[in-house]
């Protein structure tokens, strides 16, 4: 298992920076050795968490991105730490009877996280909270001779 953490600025510049960090970190994983999670999904969900941290928390201190890569069978957990102790919005699916406005620009990030991750949640930390998700490893492609 490998892990790393990096501080990001509490500005919108943190979102593309976090995406680039995730893309680079996951590109270096040998999928045959540890099982790589889907990079596009990891980037999207990380961007959602970081954007939420920037938009919905006071600008006290940096945001911290924590990535933990799991050993066999692989996958990862990604956390975003911020200084706001308040719980994030619901990490559950909304009531199916509730109509969603297709033109609304906000309110879908946590739905995406819940729908696309294997698991997700939040927990208090000594300095605020951490919001996290996990992704499973995607199966390595079989060699042509086995198809």
pTM metric for this prediction: 0.82
Look at residue 110 and tell me whether its pLDDT is greater than 90.
Answer: no
Distance CA 78, CA 58 (A): 22
Q: What's the Cα-to-Cα distance from 133 to each of 105, 118, 121, 138, rounded to whole Å?
A: 22, 7, 7, 16
Handedness of CA 100, 105, 106, 108 (dihedral sign): positive
Distance CA 26, CA 28 (A): 5
Domains in the chain with CATH codes: 2-96+105-139 (3.30.565.10)
Question: What tokens appear for 30 in the block?
Answer: 């040998």
Q: Supply the Cα-derived Rg of the chain in whole angstroms.
A: 16
For 11-62, the pLDDT digits (tens) are 999 999 999 999 988 887 766 666 789 999 999 999 999 999 998 888 778 9
């Amino acid at each position: 298992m490998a892990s790393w953490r990096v501080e990001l600025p509490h500005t919108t510049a943190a979102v593309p920076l976090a995406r680039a960090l995730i893309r680079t970190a996951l590109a270096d994983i040998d999928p045959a050795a540890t099982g790589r999670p889907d990079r596009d999904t990891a980037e999207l969900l990380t961007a959602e968490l970081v954007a939420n941290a920037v938009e919905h928390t006071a600008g006290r201190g940096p945001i911290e991105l924590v990535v933990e890569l799991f050993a066999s069978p692989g996958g990862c957990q990604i956390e975003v730490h911020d200084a706001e102790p308040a719980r994030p919005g619901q990490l559950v699916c909304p009531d199916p009877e509730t109509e969603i406005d297709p033109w609304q620009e906000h309110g879908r990030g946590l739905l995406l996280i819940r729908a696309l991750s294997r698991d997700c949640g939040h927990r208090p930390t000594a300095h605020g909270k951490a919001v996290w998700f996990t992704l499973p490893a995607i199966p390595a492609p079989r060699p042509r001779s086995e198809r």
